[in-house]
Structure 1
Amino acid sequence: MNDDKIGLSRRKMLVGLGAVGVASAGAGLGTTAYFNDTETFANNELTAGSLDLFVHVDYSEDQGSYAQYSTEPGTYVDGNVVGIEGQQIEGEPLSIQVSDLKPGDSGEGEFCFSIVDNPAYMWMCGELTGNDENGMTEPEMDDDETPDTGDLADAMEVTVSYCTPDGDGGNVIGDEIVSGSLAEVMLALQAGVPLSSDGDANAPLADRPTFDGVTEAFTDGEPNVDEQCVCFTWEVPTSVENEIQTDSVMFDFEFYAVQARHNDGAHNPCVDETVVTAYDNSWKGQTLANPTEGNVYTSVSFGQNQTVLSFAFADDGDGVDFLDTADYSSTNLPVAVDADDDGTHDWQVIWQPNAGFPDAPFGYTENNSGSYGPAQPLPAGFSAAKVGDTIVFGIPNSEIASTFRLLGYGSTGGEGPIAEVNVDPSLGPDFYNSSNAIEFSD
């Protein structure tokens, strides 16, 4: 390409541009200003909402002729301190203390909720903070097989259920949430129990029904609460004997309300850390007869006396459930733990319902120079439970460091998906070397 072929000299180009300029000037003749208009949006303001949880408490206990006790009508907890409707907040946590506890004693309580301003997901949490022997009397020595540990937490029977007011000062008891000994119930609560406002104990974890918000916690002096409440009962059975003499327990209940908007309710506020792992439905490249979509939520809660490991399996609601032996006859969950974070797993805790373990469905096995022997009962102080779709293990703090690693390998025995809990699931499980295990630290 050259200037001759273009056919336009520098002079001609300048003339052409001048002609364009004249034409533009001519188009603007008679115009004095641009058309314009203005609309103003003034005094804009953004105000954050709020969420304030009130827990209304109605509690009583029966110690026969020795004592009767009940909370005052209108008792509530707000900001972790107790108040009475119409009175000033006392500034102290609600604390119920029972002395001279004996077989046959019992108590019951009701917790109802006012969530001021915004609907929320609810969680119930707790912790067994003391289970003490407090010395031994002469008759206790003959019956007590655990002289270094209190027996009361295992002797007390506790049930936590959904309930609704019956209109006559009582309650209609609904689905059971968790039950067992006090130690077992508090193990489950330390791992966190999600609550559903429809009272369905089998409600899914994510997007379960939320608790409604209200404009104020009291209306005309009466609690303005969600219809769904939580009730609990405790009892020291008359079958319990001298082994509980002088023993004592201490425990905490906590309730959390977490905003519903922009949230699916799966976040667990009761625990210190959670890792989410999706199910893998490509078992060694095979086509599965019963694939299940879902996630396992692996959580750790560091408590005063024990560390709780929990594995919540959240399925897709298609009726095929990871933990259901009717769907997967060989379903199981071994968990390898590097308790001192030295690079080698020290032991495994296992849930395997059809394995015939001595502590069925739970077992324990140690790593002996790279080899695991037959499953044994859980060691003293260890505990385990299945609560709905959650497997929970309690480990005494003396047996696990504040920094440790774990590897989980939820399996359906080839019938369905697997759920590997490690740093890189593509590498497969290594029950000896913990380099691919997930590290947790208090």
Structure 2
Amino acid sequence: MTKHNLELSRRKVLAGLGGVGLASTGAGLGTTAFFSDTETFTNSQLVAGELDMLVDWEEHYADWSDDENDDRTDDFGGDETDLDGDGDTDDDGTGNFDVLMTDGDPTTVPDGYTGLPTPMEPLIAVPDEFVDDFMMNTAIEAFPDEDDDGIQDTIYTRNQLSKMTSLSPEEIEEEFRSQFANVPDELDSDLRTESSRGDPLVYLEDVKPGDFGEVTFSLHLFNNPGYIWLDAEILENADNGMTEPEKKDDDESGTNANGNNPGELLDAIHTLVWHDDGDNVLEQSEIVYAPHDVDSSTSITLEGDERIVARGTLRDVLESAADGGIPLDADTRTSERDCYPNSTTRHVCFAWWLPVDHANELQTDSVGFDLGFYTEQCRHNDGSRLPAE
């Protein structure tokens, strides 16, 4: 909206009053105008505001492949860390680091190791020094990822773009936003990892007990402050027939009361959603900030349950995110739900894992689901969310 400011000094006010007096006393002398003045307000307009949310992401999947514990520093000729004090900078002498099985028991994670996929229910433990290596080794797709290595490309801030280019402020803003995606329209974009273009975000066809994965979403809110929700919908929970070992398994549920034969995978997979600092790993303290907002120098530290958005089986989390979504809070330390500021970036991680205490009852089972995020402007809303159309 164009805004015109009016500033009246004391002298201008007195001159205006004087003009009124003279005009009245000189009314009988004819029509000559000794003083005149016009106040004109031109080009007034009202423009509707905008609210736009864009996203980017990086996805990881650990299935016990041989290269998941590859020491990437060794690959690039750098120095190594002697973790066990034996004088050998590679734990097994081959350029690999140790990965310990923990079977979901956090008490088995030794000091100096990080439990994954979450410290509360770890399936494995990775040396702290090599967590970044493990995450790079298990990265399978990202947006943006123009070099198709499965790892997200560097995302440049507005300040960085202004120093790298001679673009106008409007062009810099356009270039900044072009690094992010509008989904589902851009799931087949050239900025997405080539092997995943056009596919659903989570698309795995041979999941086994002990496997786990994670998607870190970056949410970018533009033009106005907004409330944000995590949305989900269960699309499929199928048994897909039963193999001979599956039929013999005591944990196979069989046909339900409706005559259907649902799968066990929806209730077997565990899920955790949390507010992340952007490194894709749940830590005791998550320093949450807006890395791409050049006008913001503030950050908040979330501890304990302040980090957690949702936790439970895949069914638990998906059902709680259906029919109205799970409200996200810009600052979970406060008692009230806070709006996300305009032009901010926040990271939300969605992790899943299939514990090792499951077996034949899961064979050929499948689960299909939608995930998404919904936003509404904060002004004139109380966060209760408008009903779906």
Q: TM-score, normalised by structure 1?
A: 0.46
Corresponding residue number in structure 2 for 1:63? 63
Q: What corresponds to 2:38 in structure 1? A: 38
Amino acid at match of 2:142: E
Query: Radius of gyration: which is bigger?
Result: 1
Residue 186 of structure 1: which of 318, 328, 335 is its match? 318
Secondary structure of 1:109's partner?
strand
Alpha-carbon shift at residue 86 of structure 1 (Å): 8.2
Going from structure 1 to structure 2, the CA distance change for 1:161 and 1:134 (only over 3 Å counts) comes to: same
Q: How many Å separate the matches in 1 of 2:192 and 2:369?
A: 26
Quote the Cα distance in structure 2 between the aligned partners of 1:89 and 1:51.
28
Q: 1:103 and 1:246 mapped to 2: Cα distance?
A: 13
Q: How has the CA–CA distance of structure 1 residues 239 and 89 changed in structure 2, closer, same or farther, with 3 Å as cutoff?
A: closer
Aligned to 1:160, what secondary structure does the other structure show? strand
Question: Which residue number in structure 1 is paired with residue 240 of structure 2?
Answer: 134
Aligned with 1:72 (options 142, 151, 160): 142
Task: Return 5+ residue gaps in structure 2 as ranges.
Answer: 1-25, 69-137, 146-179, 256-260, 287-301
Alpha-carbon distance change, 95 to 141 in structure 1, aligned in 2, over 3 angstroms: same
Give the CA deviation at 1:33.
7.1
1:162 is matched with which residue?
Answer: 275
Which residue does the alignment assign to 2:101? Answer: none
Which structure dedicates a bigger proportion of its chain to strand? 1
Aligned-partner Cα distance in 2 for 1:146–1:211: 46
SS of equivalent to 1:82: coil
CA contact (8 A) 2:56 2:143 kept: no
Counterpart-to-counterpart distance in 1, 2:198 and 2:205: 20
SS across alignment from 2:43: coil
What does residue range 160-239 of structure 1 map to in structure 2 within 5 Å?
160-165=273-278, 172=283, 173=286, 174=302, 175-191=307-323, 192-200=325-333, 203-204=335-336, 208-214=337-343, 225-226=344-345, 228-239=346-357
| Number of matched pairs | 228
Distance 1:181 1:37 in 2: 74
Following superposition, the deviation at residue 104 of structure 1 comes to 0.6
Normalising by structure 2, report the TM-score. 0.52
RMSD: 3.2
Answer whether contact 1:106 1:235 (CA < 8 A) is retained. yes
Considering fraction of residues, name the structure with more helix: 2
CA–CA distance in structure 2, aligned partners of residues 250 and 115 of structure 1: 28
Aligned to 2:361: 243
| Relative contact order higher in (CA < 8 Å, ≥ 6 apart) | 2
Q: Distance in 2 between matches of 1:49 and 1:263?
A: 15
Residues 44, 247 of structure 1: alpha-carbon distance in 2 compared, 3 angstrom cutoff = same
* CA–CA separation in structure 1 for the residues paired with 2:199 and 2:359: 33
What does 1:407-422 correspond to in 2, within 5 Å? none
